[in-house]
Structure 1
Amino acid sequence: MSEAMILYEIDKRKRCTASQLSGYFDFDKGYVSRMIHKLSKQKLIERVSDNQDKRKKYLHITEKGQKVLKELSDNASHDVRRMIEKIDLEQVNSLIQSMEEIEKILSANKGGRFDEEK
């Protein structure tokens, strides 16, 4: 699950670093480092040095990583569809509104730390 979230965020960001991921998810830097190493070893992401500062490494999702991420997303969509298929439309709309409110509250409390560097 954490690896899927990391893949998603790397794909979503243009100039993503391990330090940013650690701060965004409030994960221990060592934990993020181990996940990045694992994802890199699986060839799902790659580390690219900054042109100005070779010590700084940006994370990019690979083509293989994009395929894995799409498969995870498709599976999640299928699971959600299966969970709500027997719920009537009014309840689905209520569920969506509730989820939007949850997202709004969580986003506001995150302080937009990471969103500034898209």
Structure 2
Amino acid sequence: MAKEVVEKIREFNRFYTSVIGVTNNHILESNYSLTEVRVMHEASNNPGITARQLKALLQMDEGYLSRLIAKLVKQKILLKKQSREDKRIFSLELSEKGKQMYTEFNKRSNDSVAALIQHLGNNDQIELVKLLNSVKTLLTKNK
């Protein structure tokens, strides 16, 4: 692989993380990291997801994920429910407080992206989505 390609991809990553504001370890001017909000997202969209499923989905270190889940449970954002069939397994879902927080994060994130692309015309927005889909397709090709 060409060194220049790697450098350009890394340059884009630095640009985009700066644009979306995740370089300060917090997202959407909150006290939560991108990873914490991503866990909330997965719990919202996959009620009953297990820590093992989250670990595989997010490709995270088990210890880090365990500490993150414990923090969100302690803050009453996540609910941890023990399986009736296997007492070693716990499912995760958002509490009412967590649902409210996630709804707000989701709205603010949508508003942020809308502001990011508001200067683009409809055709440019459509082109941007096509390009993003192309990147996604290329990065998952032959995996």
Flag whether TM exceeds 0.5 (same fold): yes
Residue aligned with 2:49, SS: coil
State the partner residue of 2:72. Answer: 39
Structure 2's unaligned 5+ residue stretches are: 1-33
Q: CA deviation at 1:93?
A: 0.7
Residue aligned with 1:55, SS: coil
The one-letter code of the counterpart of 1:92 is Q
Q: TM-score, normalised by structure 2?
A: 0.70
Residue of 46, 54, 59 corresponding to 2:92: 59
Change in CA separation of 1:109 and 1:13 when aligned onto 2, cut-off 3 Å:
farther
Structure 1's unaligned 5+ residue stretches are: 111-118
Query: Whole-Å Cα distance in 2 between the matches of residues 62 and 107 of structure 1?
Result: 34
Q: CA deviation at 1:108?
A: 6.4
Q: CA deviation at 1:38?
A: 0.7
Higher relative contact order (CA 8 A, sep 6+): 1
State the partner residue of 1:8. Answer: 41
Deviations 1:10-47 (A, max 9, x none): 12113311111111111100000011001101101111
Q: Does 1:98 align with 2:134?
A: no
Matches within 5 A, 1:74-113: 74-105=107-138
State the partner residue of 1:114. Answer: none
Q: Quick one: percent identity of the two aligned structures?
A: 28
Query: Whole-Å Cα distance in 1 between the matches of residues 123 and 94 of structure 2?
Result: 39
